[in-house]
């Protein structure tokens, strides 16, 4: 490590150490999964107390840069994949590939089925109407990331049942092959505990933290096109929300101009 603590600076020692370690991680000196030097070694290297080291490591853990394992030390956390919740309606495929990652899917189910009541309500159908069910376990850079079940009205694109969806973007298939344009959508996200089936698929502990995402997308004619329920690993995913402060005539702030961060329900522009 090239940097040193400036003992004459008014900046707290723990904060200086935190920034030094963060810069080393961002520069690639330490990569995801690497173990950082132990507390005693950091104390000797930087000439600071163990309290300073622990506070710096604690803050890095809270910010998601480190994972501290009891009895084993501090490890660089895996990089999280960001998904947009507001303004740009994109799929996981677009979000991952835009960041240079690779995405593949294990298609666990692709078939025609009767719509459950909750799904029918989202898609503007009657309970029992035919829908296409696409259930996928999706891997980002080879790591199981999300279990997602997607429902589409069967009459919209019955040919989808013949598609290989293991390495294709659903949105790209709908738009480029079938001319079905997604215009806007509504999404919500909440924390939840992993069920036994979801935990097994994602390789996490039963009851572990997941992010539960629900989304319904609409066409240019306001017709519902797809509804999905996704279970994301909470330790590997994050969601970015673009907040808009709306103003009316005279510069007055309009009520309702900022979307709820937990359930963004404003219109979202489709972006391929």
User: What confidence tier does 250 reach under pLDDT thresholds 50, 70, 90?
Assistant: low
255 burial via Cβ count (<10 Å: 0-12, 13-18, 19+) = exposed
Q: Which of 19-33, 35-49, 97-111, 158-172 has the weakest average pLDDT? A: 97-111
- Helix, strand, coil shares, percent, the chain, to 5: 30, 35, 40
Confidence of residue 84 (pLDDT cuts 50, 70, 90): very low
* CA distances (Å), origin 196, targets 131, 199, 208, 233: 26, 5, 10, 14
* pTM tops 0.85, yes or no: no
Q: Which domains does the chain have, with CATH numbers?
A: 13-76 (1.10.10.10), 81-270 (3.40.1410.10)
Q: How confident is the model at residue 61 (pLDDT cuts 50, 70, 90)?
A: confident
pLDDT classification of 71: cutoffs 50, 70, 90: confident
């Amino acid at each position: 490590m090239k940097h040193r603590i400036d003992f004459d600076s008014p900046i707290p020692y723990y904060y200086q150490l935190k920034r030094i370690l963060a810069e080393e991680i961002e520069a690639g000196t330490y990569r995801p999964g690497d173990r950082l030097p132990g507390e005693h070694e950091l104390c000797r290297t930087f000439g600071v107390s163990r309290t300073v080291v622990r506070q710096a490591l604690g803050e890095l853990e809270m910010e998601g840069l480190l994972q501290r394992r009891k009895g084993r030390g501090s490890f660089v956390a895996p990089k999280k994949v960001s998904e947009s919740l507001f303004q740009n309606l994109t799929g996981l495929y677009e979000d991952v590939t835009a960041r240079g990652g690779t995405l593949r899917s294990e298609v666990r189910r692709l078939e025609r089925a009767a719509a459950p009541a909750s799904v029918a309500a989202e898609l503007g159908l009657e309970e029992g109407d035919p829908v296409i069910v696409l259930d996928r376990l999706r891997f980002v850079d080879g790591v199981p990331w999300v279990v997602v079940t997607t429902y589409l009205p069967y009459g919209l694109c019955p040919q989808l049942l013949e598609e290989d969806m293991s390495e294709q973007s659903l949105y790209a298939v709908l738009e480029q092959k079938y001319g079905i344009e997604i215009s806007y959508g509504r999404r919500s996200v909440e924390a939840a505990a992993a069920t036994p089936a979801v935990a097994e698929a994602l390789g996490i502990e039963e009851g572990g933290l997941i992010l539960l995402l629900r989304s319904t997308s609409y066409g240019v004619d306001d017709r519902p096109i797809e509804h999905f329920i996704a279970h994301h690993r909470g330790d590997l995913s994050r969601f970015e929300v673009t907040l808009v402060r709306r103003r009316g005539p005279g510069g007055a702030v309009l009520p309702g101009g900022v979307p709820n961060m937990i359930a963004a329900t404003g219109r979202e522009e489709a972006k391929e």
